[in-house]
Amino acid sequence: MRIGIDIDNVISNFDEVLKKEFLEHDKALRNTGIVDDNLYITSGMFDWSKEEICDFYYPNVERIAKSLSLIDGSKEYIDKLKREGHFICIITGRDNGEYSNPFDMTKEWLNKHNIYYDELIFTNGKDKESKARVCLENNIDIMIDDSVSLCKACLDNGIVALLMDKPCNRSSNITRVYNWEDIYNFISFYRDSR
């Protein structure tokens, strides 16, 4: 099967690191901490204005992205899926204007962490249909992402989507996975049932 895999919050711990950075900056800004843990970090988790969010997020996002670690099991299960003959297509929304050179930065990060992939595709993560189009163009069977809207767009186009769980996406009824063992088990069952 051809498997599409997002990077941030699926392979990397983007939100975990971003939240820590926001908490640290919040101490200097107003020290109110998290006001709503069910909202996304840049969309109401903190009581910052849009200007305060932008003033912190944009100058720091590239540094943060370069420092990310792997989500537990991501490398091991990607390697296992590849050994079993699956085509691994990393599909990332990092071509969104937030990074000076998203292609080189991402390739370096993937190489540093020895993440296997057959193909690496960049989309604009702000275009909610972009990953669905790429999945269709590349005959992706299953897309794994943490974005409800991106998963929904895939489902609307007949592509199986797995939604990586996080607090701000729990109102969705899209098939949810909590870790890489869940992802692997779903893919194995799906493959065997076809």
Spatial distance between the Cα atoms of 17 and 131, rounded to a whole number of angstroms: 24
Report the SS3 class of residue 188: helix
Q: For the chain, which residues make up each domain, given as ranges?
A: 2-13+69-193, 14-66
pTM: 0.95
pLDDT in tens, 175-191: 999 999 999 999 999 98
DSSP letters along 97-146, please?
Answer: SSSSSHHHHHHHHHHHTT---SEEEE-BTTSTTHHHHHHHHTT-SEEEES
Q: What is the mean pLDDT of residues 54-63?
A: 97
Spatial distance between the Cα atoms of 94 and 6, rounded to a whole number of angstroms: 10
19: tokens are 């939240």
pLDDT in tens, 77-119: 999 999 999 999 999 999 999 999 999 999 999 999 999 999 9
Question: How far are the Cα atoms of 25, 60, 61 from residue 55, in angstroms, in the given order?
Answer: 11, 9, 11
Choose the CATH number for 2-13+69-193 among 3.40.50.970, 3.40.50.1000, 3.10.129.10, 3.40.462.20.
3.40.50.1000
Binned at pLDDT 50, 70 and 90, residue 192 comes out as confident
pLDDT in tens, 27-50: 999 999 999 998 999 999 999 999
Please give the single-letter amino acid code of residue 143: M
Binned at pLDDT 50, 70 and 90, residue 2 comes out as very high
Cβ neighbors of 27 (< 8 A, separation 6 or more) are: none
Residue whose tokens read 């929304």: 93
pLDDT in tens, 118-163: 999 999 988 989 999 999 999 999 999 999 999 999 999 999 999 9
- Is residue 10 a contact partner of residue 169, using CB atoms and an 8 Å limit? no
pLDDT for res 59? 97
